[in-house]
Copies of this chain bind each other. A is one copy, B any other.
């Protein structure tokens, strides 16, 4: 029917932005430079992203946020560990995935030195929280707005954020990126640890 934004357009800008931020810092990277590096006009850059800092949001979305998105496919009748065991092919990542992982790990590890990036990072955590609220509400047949659901989603998302931060800092410090399996394992543990509701195990659907 009509023209659409090219697949991958946003993530490509995010990669350019991330490289520049890591190389020269956020403050010393201009919107002009990001647009040029990404091969788009400045006007389009500001259409794609609300602020300079939020240019890296697509990369932050590859963290626990993506994990939470996948939990949207979690059947009611198995535990979180079992779901991950069955569903995740931990075979070798593509080259592009490796590069994206390295970029996001370095961004997260450097958050203390770049507080300007805390906003997009928190926006990512907030999305994780919304996604987890959906998962929890669905499994326990509760409303998305239920206080207990919101509380549980918040503690779980916070725990997942700490895992991401801890793993990223260690990766940069020790020069090695943990495997996807290891990260998923830690995230699953974090979910159990931080849960204020019993949603990690198989649940029986309630008759309607």
A residues lining the B interface (CB < 8 Å): 118-119, 122-123, 126, 147, 150-151, 154-155, 157-159, 161-162, 165-166, 190, 193-194, 196
> What distance in Å separates the Cβ of A52 from its nearest Cβ neighbour in chain B?
12
- Chain B residues with CB under 8 A of A147: 162, 166
- Chain B residues with CB under 8 A of A162: 147, 150-151, 154
Query: What are 29 A-B pairs at a CB distance below 8 A?
Result: A118-B119, A118-B122, A118-B123, A118-B126, A119-B119, A119-B122, A122-B122, A122-B126, A147-B162, A147-B166, A150-B165, A150-B166, A151-B159, A151-B162, A151-B190, A151-B193, A151-B194, A154-B158, A154-B159, A154-B161, A154-B162, A155-B155, A155-B158, A155-B159, A157-B158, A158-B158, A193-B196, A194-B194, A194-B196
**CA separation between A23 and B36, bound complex, in Å?**
39
> What distance in Å separates the Cβ of A178 from its nearest Cβ neighbour in chain B?
14
> What distance in Å separates the Cβ of A205 from its nearest Cβ neighbour in chain B?
26
**A interface, by DSSP: helix, strand, loop or mixed?**
helix
- Chain B residues with CB under 8 A of A161: 154
> What distance in Å separates the Cβ of A49 from its nearest Cβ neighbour in chain B?
14
**CA separation between A166 and B145, bound complex, in Å?**
10
> What distance in Å separates the Cβ of A158 from its nearest Cβ neighbour in chain B?
4
Question: Which of A118, A155, A157, A159: most chain B CB closer than 10 A?
Answer: A155
- Chain B residues with CB under 8 A of A151: 159, 162, 190, 193-194
> What distance in Å separates the Cβ of A18 from its nearest Cβ neighbour in chain B?
19
> What distance in Å separates the Cβ of A36 from its nearest Cβ neighbour in chain B?
25
